[in-house]
Structure formats: structure tokens, C-alpha cells
Chains A and B, each alone.
Chain A
Amino acid sequence: MEGEQRRLLVRFEGEDLGHGAHVVLPRLSLALHQGERIALLGQSGAGKSTLLAELRRRLGGEAAWCPQHHGLVPQLAVYHNVFMGRLPEYSALANLWNLVRPLRGPWREVAALCDELGLTGLMRRPVGELSGGQRQRVAIARALYQARPLFLGDEPVASVDPHQALRLLDLIDSRHTTSVVALHQRELALSHFDRVWGLRDGRLAIDARADELSLAELDALYPDAAEPAGSPPPGNDGAPLPSPEALPCARGRP
């Protein structure tokens, strides 16, 4: 297979992943090679975020990161939220000054990025005033602004419509050689990615090339969806609708 000639980035061999003593993914075996585009599927709570967090930890500075529910600061402007992708590259003083008066170089770069993502003219707008889809794009802009070879995204296209999702994934692909993206849209996983990792009940149920898989095989990852129609699952898994949790951080405390 072509993947074998490519550089190995991460390999898990029978490892337990979780938070502290709480193991979410026991005895996980898995490899990620350079150049792969991987869709990560599974129900909410299947361990997608745990796996992505561990990948992020191991890949360190190589990976750009787009977290679930965006993790944006609603009080800051779009520009500042995107700029946060490169905080470590500037001195503390420059970072402080940038809050008072945007630095000229980054401002131009962020403006170009915002144009591509359809956020033109919103650079000075606080993120808290944007719609769910706009926030999603700001979160992606922040990840793109990091300019890393790898992209790790935890449901980065959960709150946009299917056409936009496709466009955003294309943009992500054009700027990264390798990507691992958690998502719920099974059709998109088959049409747009090389490989699918499917998690179910804490184990890797599917690890195969996308062109060898069918939608029916992916459906097996969502046992709740197999219930008779009419009583939709509470987590609205598998539906490309913006989930209410995806609209984050009301002002003030949670």
C-alpha cells in the first residue's frame, strides 16, 4: 500500500487512552502516516475527542488544532481570536500591544484569511455577536492561521450547511498535507477522505480506506440511529444540523 512508503507520524500499539485513571479507549492500536486524510466517526461519547487530544499531545507543534465548540473568546474581535493561533511566535509585549492596536503584518494576513472564509468586514466584530456558522469559520481561520503541516479538527464543520462544509474541508485540505477530522456526516466521510476511523464502545471498530467502505458499514457505528424512526436519538447524531451545544459560551459564566 502507498501509505507504507510514507513517513509514520504516530503509532499506538495496544495503549490505554483516557483522562487520568478513567480509560476511555482501552488497548488502542492505530497508525497515522503523513499525507493521509482521515475522517473520525463515532457517536457522541465514543471517544473521538479523547483520541484527538492524545494525537494533539503527541504531535505537539506540528498540528493545527480546531477544538469542539470552537473555544473562542466571545468578547474579543474576530481578528484577535484568529491571531491567537500564533501567540507563541510573538513577544509578550507585542501580544499586549496587539490588543491595543493590531500589528500590521498579522492584520494583513488575517484579512486575507477572512476573505477566503467569507468573513470579510467582520474583523473588528466581537465573536459573541456572530452567528453559529460564522463562529465556526473563525475557529477554522484560527487553526489555518497556525500554518502547520497537520490539521486536527473536532467537528469543525458541525454547524455549517453541507455545501459550506465541503468548501471548508477543501480549504483545509489545500493548506495541510495531513488531516484528522472528527465529523458526523457519513456521506462526507466517504466522499472526501482517504481513510475512515470508526469508534464504537471504546474500540476502533473501523480502520479502512474510504473507497472500500459503504454507508451501511458506517451506520453500524451508530446503534442509536438504528432504533425505529419517530423517536430520534437525543444527541441528534448523524444529522448535519448545528447542535445547540455548538453555540458556545454565553457571556459571563457557564
Chain B
Amino acid sequence: MSDGLVDSRPPSARNWWRGGSPGLRLARHSLGLVALAVLLVPFADLAIHTRDPWGELGRMAAGLAWPAWGALESPFTALGLTVAVALWGTLAGVVLGFPLALLFARSRLVRAGCAFVRAIHELFWALLFLQVFGLSALTALAALAIPYAGIFAKVYAEILEQTPRAPRDALPPGSGRLARFVYAELPLAWSQLAAYTRYRFECGLRASVLLGFVGLPTLGFHLETAFREGRYHEAGALMWLFYLLIASLPWWDHKRLIPLLLVGGAWLLGPWPSVDGALLWRFVAEDIWPAALLAGDWAGVLEWLARIPSLGPAIGNTLLLGLLGTVGALAVALLLWPLASRHFGNRGTRLAGHGVLIFLRSTPELMLAFVFLLLLGPSLLPAWLALALHNGALIAFLVARHADAIKPGMPGLPASGRLAYELLPRVYPGLLALLYYRAEVILRETAILGMLGVATLGFYIEEGFDYLMFDVAFFLLLVTAALNIAVDALSRRLRPREAPLDDPCIR
């Protein structure tokens, strides 16, 4: 990878890492990241708390291999509700987000607001709305619609901004703003807007499943119960149901079918809660703020802040797990992508590789972490494994797709040469760029994994809600959002510029 050396001697072994070529820069960059993670690993609690993890894993695998279809209670209601929540939540996100997208470039306030609502995970929103709307469809829809509105606003704005300017410039002077938009901007962006919306709906489907973990009766609720009670054959059946739902998506998210599903779904979402306006107002205006702050007592606020349990360690754990997860994902991606690439192995290994990648990337982190937690006990280890495997597999899948489009210049190289000389130098910048895109997602997931019992911010947020300390929970939510926004900004600065990733559907 060392180029630009005019000297006839080979560069001395001591100075191999010096030099300004992009390859070396990226290598130093990644090694720095790995070194930081290795340095900090001793601070992470990676203990295994259970006695027989392998036996438990065997029982779970047996459950997945022999699912007990007959034991499922009303699986179709759960499935229907999962789809209905995802569909209506995404639709509400589009309705809220589209007008914001038009203001996005002009208003700093809109950009800041969208960054804030995006930075809080769907499940945290669900926990917040749970306090007001109870276990109802309203909670589920708001939990999806609000962060998605922020995401849609940003991505739609980016897509619209990148439409070609020529048709707009060709319009006769005096064409109205609305006419210009519907004739010369919207048609050019339409296919991309639709593709992103479809992708977001798929994300919404997974999020809708996960809403079961806070108690909403979607597929995740039945999954969690079955797993917790050790009914692994039933859990296996539910997992298969989930995979079938995701895999069959291309057949049923047809645009003619969507209105039908919307109407059918609306019927499943009820009954709607009666919202008490006074109670809602009290929650927003009083409950979520520390009493001392509302009274204007600053000394009291400091005292309140000091009494928040283990704020420092929680933030530390969250950031540490985020870093470990990112580095783990890098390692997993580097190991796994050749398995699914057409350049390596034979038909059988490629098929197996694809299978592993699909399995890992379509299982949400939270679900993976939950399973590992049952196996290994509540330390950072299960969370780390889940983050690294899920995100690593996702990146590996995209990198393999990228590599498959490359035609090696030198035919007949051995596999190792093909990997090291032909393919890796070409795909690595893209891999790292993807990793930095995922870093923000990984941190957001890290916080949420606290809800399973890992000592990250999410753990204390859920505790705050459980003990009705809404002010503490809300404050920690704000801290989580601030961390996410900071890490997003950082990763955007560190991201390699060599590989611009245009496709918003891979974020």
C-alpha cells in the first residue's frame, strides 16, 4: 500500500506506517481506533454470569430448529398489529416530516429540532409516551412517527437538494414556487423518495416488533415472554414468523396493496385511549422537570444533579460500549464479507455466507442482545457481541455487494492475493465510511440495550420511569440525545472522504 516513494531502497521496517497515501492514512486511522478500544477494554465489565451458557445456547438452537407452531396464541393478531403500527407510524412520519423537509435548508430551528428527535431511539420515545397514553396504539404510533419525522425531514431534504437544477433553470420567469416544485423538482426526486420511504418502512417493521419489549402487544412482546419463560420452541416459531415477515416484504409492500393494509391495520390498532388534557399538560409542564428548576432554585438543581445515581459510569459505559461495538463491527465485517462475495469460495460457502449475513442483519440488535443476555448474564459482553455481529454483518453485506461489482484486473491470482491486492484496497474506504455511518446508530442502540439490564444510560432511564422519577428519566434522555448528536458530528468529521455514499438507504 506504500506508494509515492522514489527511493530505490525499500522503506525501512520502522517507517512503514509513515506516508500520505490514502491507504496508509486509512490504515493508521483504523489501527488508532482499534488501539483505543484495546486500551479501554479493561474498564469494561465482560464477565460471564451464567453457569452453563453452551447448554442454554443448544436449547435455543433446538428451539429454532424445531419450532412449536401449534403452541402460538393468536400469532396473526400480533403479526397484524406489528404491520399496522409500522405502516401507520411510517405514514405519520412522512406526513410530519415532508413539510419539515421543505423548511430544512432554511431554518436552523428545524434542523436542530430534527437532530434532537432523531437522536432519541424509538423505544425511549415509547417509554416516554407510555407514561401519558398508556399501553395503547397511540404510544406505539407516536414512538415511531416522531423520530421518523426527523429522519424523513433530513433525508428528503438531502434528496430534493440533489435533484438536477437544469429543469428548474429552464422554466420561464415568473413560474410560481408551487408550480416549480411539482413540475421541476418533485418528479425528479420521486423514485428516490419512494425508495427511501420503503426502506424506512422496513426499519419501522423491526422497530414495531421491538416495541413489544416495552409491553405493547406486537410480535416482540410474545417473543420476550416466550424467551424469558424458557419456552424456546415457541420462541423459535415466533422468530421464524419474524423472518418470514421481513423476507416476504417485497411481495406485499406493493403500492396497490398499501391502502388496503392501511385500512385493515387501522381496525387492528384500536381501542384508542381517552387522553386527559390536564394530565398530559401536567406531565409536560411539571413532571418531567426537576422541581427545583421550576422553582428557580439553582442550588437545589445542583443538589438534584448530584443525587442522580451513577451518571458518570452510565455515560462512560455507554460511550465505551459504543466504541467497542464499532470496533467489533469493523472486525466482524472484515472477517465476514469475503464469505458472501463472488470472488471467493464455491457455491456452497457463498450460500452459507449469505445465509449467516441475512440472519445476523435482519435480527435487530436488541433481540440478539436479549438472547446473548440470557446466555451470558448481564454484563457488557452480550451487548458488545450483539452490536458487533449485527452491524458487522450489515456492513459485510454491503461491502460484498460492492466487491461483486468489481472486476479484478489480474486474473488468476490466488485468493489471498486477490483479497489483499485487488479487492481490499478498493472496498476498504467504503467499508470504513459505512462503519462511521453506523457509529451513530450503534451508540443509539447502546443506550437502548440498557433496558435489558446492561448498565448503560438506558438502564437508568427505564429505572427512572419505573420509579416514577420522570425528571431524572427525562434528564437522562436529554443526555443520551446530546451524546448521540456529538458522536454523529464527530463521526461525520472522521469519515473518509474517498468514498461518498449517496444512497440514503444504507444508513
- C-beta contact mask, B135-172 vs A, less than 8 Å → 1, else 0? 00000000000000000000000000011101101111
Contact residues of B: prevailing secondary structure: helix
B171 touches A84 (CB 8 A): yes
B502 touches A73 (CB 8 A): no
With a cutoff of 8 Å between Cβ atoms, the chain A residues found around residue B162 in the complex are 253-254
Most chain B CB neighbours (cut-off 10 Å) among A64, A71, A74, A75? A71
With a cutoff of 8 Å between Cβ atoms, the chain A residues found around residue B187 in the complex are 73, 75-76
- C-beta contact mask, A123-164 vs B, less than 8 Å → 1, else 0? 000000000000000010010001000000000000000000
In this assembly, does A167 line the interface, its C-beta being within 8 Å of a C-beta of chain B?
A: no
Task: Give the contact stretch, choosing among A25-33, A38-46, A86-94, A226-234.
Answer: A86-94
Task: Give the contact stretch, choosing among A2-10, A110-118, A181-189, A244-252.
Answer: A244-252
Inter-chain contact total with CB atoms closer than 8 Å: 87
In this assembly, does B296 line the interface, its C-beta being within 8 Å of a C-beta of chain A?
A: no
Task: Give the contact stretch, choosing among B175-183, B212-220, B449-457, B482-490.
Answer: B175-183
Q: A73-B187, A75-B188, A75-B190 known; A87 and B166 CB under 8 Å?
A: no
In this assembly, does A61 line the interface, its C-beta being within 8 Å of a C-beta of chain B?
A: yes
For A53, the closest partner residue in chain B by CB is B169
B167 touches A73 (CB 8 A): yes
B178 touches A95 (CB 8 A): yes
In this assembly, does B192 line the interface, its C-beta being within 8 Å of a C-beta of chain A?
A: yes
With a cutoff of 8 Å between Cβ atoms, the chain A residues found around residue B191 in the complex are 75, 251-252
- Contact partner of B176 (CB less than 8 A), chosen from A65, A71, A92, A251, is A92
A73 touches B184 (CB 8 A): yes
For B177, the closest partner residue in chain A by CB is A92
* Bound Cα distance from A74 to B189, whole angstroms: 11
- Contact partner of A87 (CB less than 8 A), chosen from B183, B190, B502, is B183
A61 touches B192 (CB 8 A): no
For A88, the closest partner residue in chain B by CB is B174
In this assembly, does B409 line the interface, its C-beta being within 8 Å of a C-beta of chain A?
A: no
Expressed in whole angstroms, the minimum distance between the Cβ of B11 and any Cβ of chain A is: 38
In this assembly, does A47 line the interface, its C-beta being within 8 Å of a C-beta of chain B?
A: no
Q: A87-B179, A95-B182, A252-B191 known; A146 and B172 CB under 8 Å?
A: yes
Expressed in whole angstroms, the minimum distance between the Cβ of B183 and any Cβ of chain A is: 5
- Contact partner of B183 (CB less than 8 A), chosen from A67, A73, A248, A253, is A73
In this assembly, does A198 line the interface, its C-beta being within 8 Å of a C-beta of chain B?
A: no
B183 touches A76 (CB 8 A): yes
B170 touches A71 (CB 8 A): yes
* Bound Cα distance from A139 to B166, whole angstroms: 12
For B159, the closest partner residue in chain A by CB is A253
For A67, the closest partner residue in chain B by CB is B170
With a cutoff of 8 Å between Cβ atoms, the chain A residues found around residue B192 in the complex are 252-253
In this assembly, does B414 line the interface, its C-beta being within 8 Å of a C-beta of chain A?
A: no
- Contact partner of A99 (CB less than 8 A), chosen from B164, B166, B182, is B182
B167 touches A88 (CB 8 A): no
With a cutoff of 8 Å between Cβ atoms, the chain A residues found around residue B176 in the complex are 87-88, 92, 95
A84 touches B183 (CB 8 A): yes
In this assembly, does B250 line the interface, its C-beta being within 8 Å of a C-beta of chain A?
A: no
In this assembly, does A72 line the interface, its C-beta being within 8 Å of a C-beta of chain B?
A: yes
With a cutoff of 8 Å between Cβ atoms, the chain A residues found around residue B173 in the complex are 60-61, 88
A249 touches B171 (CB 8 A): no
Residues of B261-290 whose CB lies within 8 A of A? none
With a cutoff of 8 Å between Cβ atoms, the chain B residues found around residue A253 in the complex are 162-164, 192, 502
* Bound Cα distance from A75 to B189, whole angstroms: 9
In this assembly, does A96 line the interface, its C-beta being within 8 Å of a C-beta of chain B?
A: yes
Q: A75-B188, A95-B182 known; A87 and B167 CB under 8 Å?
A: no
- Contact partner of A61 (CB less than 8 A), chosen from B172, B183, B184, is B172
* Bound Cα distance from A96 to B186, whole angstroms: 12
With a cutoff of 8 Å between Cβ atoms, the chain B residues found around residue A249 in the complex are 164, 166-167, 188
- Contact partner of B164 (CB less than 8 A), chosen from A84, A86, A95, A254, is A254
* Bound Cα distance from A191 to B472, whole angstroms: 83
With a cutoff of 8 Å between Cβ atoms, the chain B residues found around residue A75 in the complex are 187-188, 190-191
Most chain A CB neighbours (cut-off 10 Å) among B167, B178, B190? B167
For B176, the closest partner residue in chain A by CB is A92
For B180, the closest partner residue in chain A by CB is A87
* Bound Cα distance from A90 to B166, whole angstroms: 22
Expressed in whole angstroms, the minimum distance between the Cβ of B142 and any Cβ of chain A is: 31
With a cutoff of 8 Å between Cβ atoms, the chain A residues found around residue B180 in the complex are 87
With a cutoff of 8 Å between Cβ atoms, the chain A residues found around residue B171 in the complex are 84, 87
Other A-B pairs beyond A76-B183, A84-B170, 5, CB < 8 Å: A67-B169, A84-B183, A87-B179, A146-B172, A253-B192
Interface residues, chain B, CB within 8 Å of chain A? Answer: 162-164, 166-167, 169-176, 178-180, 182-184, 187-188, 190-192, 502
Instruction: Name the 6 nearest CB pairs between A and B, nearest first.
Output: A71-B170, A88-B174, A71-B166, A87-B175, A75-B187, A95-B179
Q: What are 9 of the A-B contact pairs (CB < 8 Å)?
A: A60-B173, A61-B172, A61-B174, A71-B169, A95-B178, A99-B183, A249-B166, A252-B191, A253-B163
